[in-house]
Structure 1
Amino acid sequence: MTLLSLQPAEPATLHSLPPTLDLEALRPHLVNLSNGQFSDDGALVTSAEDVDAIFAEHLPRYMEQHEGPLRLLFWAHGGLVSEARGIIGASRLLPHWLEHGIYPIFFIWETGLLDALCSLLPRSGARELQEQGRARNLVEDLWSAGVERAVRPLGQKVWAQMKVGADQAVAADGGAAYVAQRLAEFTARNPGAVQVHAAGHSAGAIFHSRFLPLYLQHGSGTGVSSLNLLAAALSIADFNRLLRPLVGSPQGIEQLHLFGLHRQLEEDDSVLWLYPRSLLCLISSALEAERGVGLLGLERSVAADADLTGFLGTAAADATWSKTQVGAPGRRCLASAHGTFDEDPATLNSVAYRVSTG
C-alpha cells in the first residue's frame, strides 16, 4: 500500500489523486459521501456492502491481530476539502493512527467550501476592491469588512448548504446513518472490547454534531470515549444544543477536547489571497446567518462565554490554544493557521495520546 507522508499535499494534487495511491487499500478505512448519500461515482465509490465489510470483516480481523481494546476513531475533515483532498488527507493520516494502535475510519463528505468561496469574488473584483482600499488608505479592519460584505449574500448560502450536507448524511437514508447503525450493532456484539472515539477538523465538528448523537441514540451500551475537535467551525449555540448535553457521561461522550488558535494567530491567518484573517473569523462574521456568531473554535468566542469557559475547565472537557508546546501530554498544539491542524504533528500526537489512553 502506497501512502503519502505527513506533509501538506502539493498544489497539483488538490483536485486529482496521485497515480501511486492504492485506493483499494484505503477502502477498509474510508466512507465516501456525496450529498449525504454513499458516493456512487468519483474517485472512490462507497456502498452499503463496503460499510458492512468494515464491521463484519476488517474490524474483526484487526481485533484478532491486536491485543487490548479496539480503539476506533471516526475522522471528519473540514469544509475546505474536495473529494480528492479528503482522500489524500486520509491516506496521509492513516499511518499516523495505525502506528498509535488506532483504527481510523475517515468520512469523506465532499464539502468543497474553498472552491465555492473562491468563486464568490472574482479575482478582478478583488483587485479592484484592493486598489480602492489602497487609494483610501483603508486599515485592515475596513478591508476585511469589505470582503465580508462581498461574500455574505452567496457565502451564507454555501455555508448553509454545507450544513444541509451534514444533515442529509444522518437522515434515514443517509450514509452516515447507515454507519451509525452498523457501529451500534458492532459495539453491542463486542461489549467492553471497543472504544469509540471521534475527531473533526473545522466543519468536521458540524458533521460530528450530527453523527455522534445519532449513534448514541441506538443505545448500544458503548458510548464515545473522546471527542477531539480541531479549530471547530461549530457554533456555540449548536454545540450547547447538540453535543454539550452528552458530554461527561460514560453512555454519552466521556471526554471533550478542543484545539484552536490563540486569538492573535486567528487575526494573523488568512483565507487565500483575499481575507487577512482566519476562516473561522470569516465564518463568524460573514457566513453564518447572523453576523458575529460565536464559534466553538474561536478563543475570543469561548472567552466571552463565562458558562462555556467554566465548562471547559471541568474534568469532562478542556481546551488547548495554539501555540502550546509544553505541558501535559495531550495538551500540545503547534498549529499556526486554521488549515494546519490536521498537518501539525504536535496536535495529531495529542489526539493520539487522548485516544490511546482513553
Structure 2
Amino acid sequence: MSWFWKWRNKPAVSNPERLLNYIVNTEADGQLSQSGIFQSSDAQLKRMIRHIVEFFKEQPGPRRLMFYCHGGLVTEAEAGAAIESRYQTFLGNRIYPVFFIWQSSFLEVLEDHLRETVHERVYEMSGVDTAVDEVIEEAAKLFPEPWNAMKHRAEQVFASQGGGWRFLLLLAKALQKERLQAEVHLVGHSAGSILLYTLLKQLLDGKAEVYPYLKIITCSLYAPTCTVDQFENAFARAIDRLLLKRFFLYTLSDELERTDPSVPFYSKSILYLISRGLEAQQGDKPIFGMEIYARTNPSLQSILAKGKGAWVLADRESRPVYFPAPSGLLELVSRAREHGDFSTDPATLNSTLCTILNCNQLLAEFQ
C-alpha cells in the first residue's frame, strides 16, 4: 500500500467501546489519553486486566499475551480500524492482543515540510530521481525537530510515568495476586520498535521486576526504525541476558527499499530518508531495519547462528525462512513490497502467529 497521504482513506471504527479491552491509548507525553476515539484511564486499564485474567482462566495450555506497537505513520482512526479487523484472529489462536496506540503527528508534518521546502526544486528536476532524492535528504537534515518529537513520543509510552508502563505494572500485580504466569510476545512495526526498545531498556535497567508473572518469549520487528545502537543496547542485550528468548526481524530487501513510494516526491523508503536525512546531521545513521545495515550486524548474525531467531527478508521472490520448533520447522515468509505493508500482509502476520505459537498449525489465519 502506498502512503501518499493526500489520497489516504479515512477509516472508521464501528464499535470503539468494544475494543477498549484490547487498547492502551496514550497522549504525546506518554500519559493515558483522555480524548479521541479511544480513551484510557486507570479504571479502563483495570477493567481490561480483569478481562485478561478471565481469558487466561478459561484457556487451556500456555497463557499468551501479544503487545503490538504500530508505527509513526498511523493515525488513531487507522490504528483502531486495523485493530477491529485483526483482534479476533489473535483471540482465535488463544492469544490475548494488547494494542498500544500512541499519538504521532509525524505523517502530516513530514509531508508539509517536504512540500514547502523542496516543492519548486523537485519539479524543476522532475525525471532526475537521484538528484531529487539528494535534495529531499538535504532538506530533511534541516528540520529534524518533527522526527525527534515523534521519537520522544514513542519513548514516553514505556517511560516510568508512561501509560504503557503503568499498564505493565498493574498487569504484573494482578497476575501475581491470581498466581498466574503469562508469556509476552512483542510485535513492533517501524517506529513501534522505539516503544519496545524503551520497554526492554526499562526492564534491563531493573526499573521493575515482572518475572515470573510475565515472561517475554518472542519479539518480532517489522521494518524497524530503531538505530543499530538501539538494537544492540536493548534487543540483542535482552537475548544475551535471557530476558528475551527469540528474536525475529522482517525487512524489505535493499532493492525494494530503493523503489518504495512511501514518501511523497522521494523514490526510496522512509528508512532511507531517516538514515540519510532526518538522522544524518553528522553523517548517515545506521537504521537497523535496512538490509544494508542488518546484514553486517554481528549481534544479529550471532542470534541467527545460535538459533535464537530468524531474519525474514521480503523480496520479489518471497522466499521462506525456516526456523526450528518442537513441532518441526516453522515456515516464515513475508510478501511485503513497501514499508507500510508488513502490518497488513497476511503472510507476515501468519508467520508471526507461528513464532508466537511455536508451531505451524494455526487455529485461525489472517486472510
State the TM bucket, normalised to the shorter chain. 0.7 to 0.9
Choose which of 220, 224, 242 in structure 2 pairs with 1:228: 220
SS at match of 2:305: coil
C-alpha separation in 2, matches of 1:112 and 1:74:
22
Task: Tell me: CA distance 1:352–1:190, structure 2 relative to 1, closer, same or farther (3 Å).
Answer: farther
The Cα offsets for residues 83-119 of structure 1, whole Å up to 9 and x where unpaired, read as 2112122222212312222110000001132111111
C-alpha separation in 2, matches of 1:357 and 1:279:
32
The one-letter amino acid paired with 1:267 is R
Report the RMSD for the aligned CA atoms in angstroms: 2.6
Contact map agreement 2:64 2:183 (CA 8 A) in 1: yes
Match of 1:3 in 2: none
SS at match of 2:333: coil
Choose which of 42, 46, 51 in structure 2 pairs with 1:48: 42
Task: Tell me: CA distance 1:180–1:322, structure 2 relative to 1, closer, same or farther (3 Å).
Answer: same
C-alpha separation in 1, matches of 2:223 and 2:259:
15
Cα displacement (A) at 1:336: 0.6
Match of 1:33 in 2: 26
C-alpha separation in 2, matches of 1:67 and 1:175:
30
The one-letter amino acid paired with 1:111 is S
The one-letter amino acid paired with 1:258 is L
Structure 1 regions of 5+ residues with no counterpart?
1-6
C-alpha separation in 1, matches of 2:258 and 2:96:
36
Choose which of 112, 131, 138 in structure 2 pairs with 1:149: 138
Task: Tell me: CA distance 1:188–1:315, structure 2 relative to 1, closer, same or farther (3 Å).
Answer: farther
Structure 2 regions of 5+ residues with no counterpart?
323-329, 360-367
Task: Tell me: CA distance 1:26–1:89, structure 2 relative to 1, closer, same or farther (3 Å).
Answer: same
C-alpha separation in 1, matches of 2:8 and 2:82:
10
Cα displacement (A) at 1:294: 1.0
Contact map agreement 1:330 1:351 (CA 8 A) in 2: no
Q: TM-score, normalised by structure 1?
A: 0.88
SS at match of 1:38: coil
SS at match of 1:41: coil
Task: Tell me: CA distance 1:317–1:327, structure 2 relative to 1, closer, same or farther (3 Å).
Answer: closer
Contact map agreement 1:8 1:343 (CA 8 A) in 2: no
C-alpha separation in 1, matches of 2:105 and 2:52:
30
C-alpha separation in 1, matches of 2:357 and 2:331:
10
Alignment of 1:253 with 2:260, yes or no, is: no
Identity %: 25
Q: 4+ residue stretches of structure 1 with deviation over 6 A? A: none
Task: Tell me: CA distance 1:340–1:108, structure 2 relative to 1, closer, same or farther (3 Å).
Answer: same
SS at match of 1:253: coil
The Cα offsets for residues 292-320 of structure 1, whole Å up to 9 and x where unpaired, read as 21111111011233454334332223211
C-alpha separation in 2, matches of 1:261 and 1:152:
24
Match of 2:327 in 1: none
The one-letter amino acid paired with 2:132 is W
Choose which of 156, 159, 162 in structure 2 pairs with 1:171: 159
The Cα offsets for residues 199-226 of structure 1, whole Å up to 9 and x where unpaired, read as 0000000110112343563223233100
The Cα offsets for residues 47-98 of structure 1, whole Å up to 9 and x where unpaired, read as 011111122x201221233211221000000010122112122222212312
Choose which of 278, 285, 296 in structure 2 pairs with 1:287: 278
The one-letter amino acid paired with 1:221 is Y
Cα displacement (A) at 1:187: 4.2
Alignment of 1:114 with 2:107, yes or no, is: yes
Contact map agreement 1:33 1:175 (CA 8 A) in 2: yes
SS at match of 1:108: strand
C-alpha separation in 1, matches of 2:168 and 2:9:
29
Task: Tell me: CA distance 1:103–1:210, structure 2 relative to 1, closer, same or farther (3 Å).
Answer: same
C-alpha separation in 2, matches of 1:61 and 1:84:
28
Task: Tell me: CA distance 1:17–1:46, structure 2 relative to 1, closer, same or farther (3 Å).
Answer: farther
Cα displacement (A) at 1:254: 0.8
Match of 1:338 in 2: 339
